[in-house]
Every structure is written in structure tokens, then in C-alpha cells.
Amino acid sequence: MYPFIHIGHFEIGTFGLMLWLAAVSGCWVLYKNFQRKGVKADAINVTALATVAGIVGAKLWHVFESPHLLMQIPMQLLLDRAGFAWFGGLVGAILVLMWQGRVAKIGALGMLDLAAPAAAIGYGVGRLGCLLSGDGDYGTPTSLPWGVSFPNGLVPTMQRVHPTPVYELIAAFLIAAYLWQRGRVDKPLGQITGEYLIWSGLARFLVEFIRINPRIYFGMSNAQIASIGSMVAGAVLVAWAQRHPRTQAQIRSRKPVARAVSG
């Protein structure tokens, strides 16, 4: 693994490099979604703000997961290159995307729906940064032929372990492809976002069974508890969207909304 790339006197962290690539990949997907839906918004600006909010949210969530360490070594914990929590990043990005949806006059849920496939792609590519840096996001020991070791990682291990970032990359790309296909036809506002929360939450919940995160509540990790919350929120949002079937096209054309009959 290569936590850092050395070019003369310069040192580039592979995690940061992959984070940049994740933002670029997500931006391209978001731009293509804006294009196919006829939305006149700046994909670069939207992605940049959401990425910054996601990084800040991920760091703060990780920091406040260990309040005793925060009291002992606050600056070291805040400035550490490692230590980012997926759920904190998700919350931070969602809040900023909702605000930007209102600014762009497509609505908070409209922006979230359009950004869902991009978020899945960005998350998957970003996970490669964890793999390259060996920052401790790998899995438990395994004898499977694709098991890898991280002797030079930020959190080194000589054992062959599950490359869980690769599993998450594959899951993220499958989720992104599914959401992109679902978005070909206008869905009720919030449905695509709800489906993203369900599928991404499920993927994270399952991969945690073979990750090295400590078990805290009922034999589950913090990430699994957050994943359950994500899936519940997604299911509630899908149910709400189906009862309030307003689409992005209707918002843009300001057409009257007809209520759906459940069943």
C-alpha cells in the first residue's frame, strides 16, 4: 500500500488524492444528471460545497465519537489525516445539498434525488483512498485468495485481511447504476433519495460484519447503528414520496399535483 506519494520534496497523501478523484467523478455524474433533466445549475459548485461539508461532517462525527480523546488531545485529533466517519459525511453533504436545491429553485428533495447517483459513485471511489493508504478501514483476517496485507499502511497489519474498501466500491457502483436507471423516468420527489439511503445503509451494515470496528451496542458497531438509521429514514422517505407524488418536472412547469391512490 502507498499512504503517500513522494515527488522530490513534496509528499502527496493517496487518501486526499482519491478524495479529489471521488469529487471529480461525482461531479461528472451530477453534471450528466442535470443535463438529462434540463436543470440549469452549476455541478462544479454544488459538488465542491457538498464535498467540503462532507469532509467536515465526517471529521467532526469521528471526533465526537471519542469525547475522552477530544478532551486529552483535541488538536491532534482534529488535524489527524486519518479518522473520518461515513455517517457524519453523509449528514453534512445532505444538509448542504438541500440548501443548494433551494438556491437553485429545484427544491431540497429535487437536488438530493439528482445527487444520489453521484454520491454513490463518489463514495465508492473515495473508498479506494482507504485501500491505498491502509488507514485501518480494512476487514478481518481471511484465507480467501484476494485477501491483502497492509505492512506499510497508516494502520499496518501483516495478516491477510478482507479488502473491504473494494467490496464497498463494487456495492457503490451497483447502487449508482441502479439509481441512474431509476432516474430515467421522473419519480416522486424524495423516492430516489430514500432508495439511496436504504441501499447504501444496507451495504454498509453488511460490510461491517467483516470489518475491524469495535462492537458497542447489541454486538453492533457505531456504523451499523447509523446504517439502521439510514435505512429507516430511507423507508420513511420512500413511503412519504409515494403518498405525495410531486415530480421534478411538475415543479419546473408548476403543474397542479394530483394525489395518488395507494394500493
Distance CA(120)–CA(117), nearest Å, equals 5
Nearby residues of 219 by Cβ (< 8 Å), 6 or more positions away: none
CA atoms within 13 Å, Cβ hemisphere of 167: 20
pLDDT score at 258: 44
pLDDT score at 86: 62
How many residues would you count in the chain? Answer: 263
H or E element that contains 78: helix 74-79
Q: How far is CA 13 from the centre of its chain?
A: 20
Do the Cβ atoms of 237 and 197 come closer than 8 Å? yes
For 104, which DSSP code?
Answer: T
Distance CA(79)–CA(106), nearest Å, equals 36
Do the Cβ atoms of 117 and 183 come closer than 8 Å? yes
Per-residue pLDDT of the chain (263 residues; tens, 9 = 90+): 676 777 777 777 777 888 889 999 999 999 999 999 989 899 999 999 998 888 888 777 666 666 555 455 555 544 455 555 666 777 888 899 999 998 888 889 999 999 999 999 999 998 888 888 887 788 999 999 999 998 888 788 899 999 999 999 999 999 999 999 999 988 999 999 999 999 999 999 999 999 988 888 788 988 899 899 999 999 999 999 999 877 666 655 554 444 444 43
Nearby residues of 69 by Cβ (< 8 Å), 6 or more positions away: 77
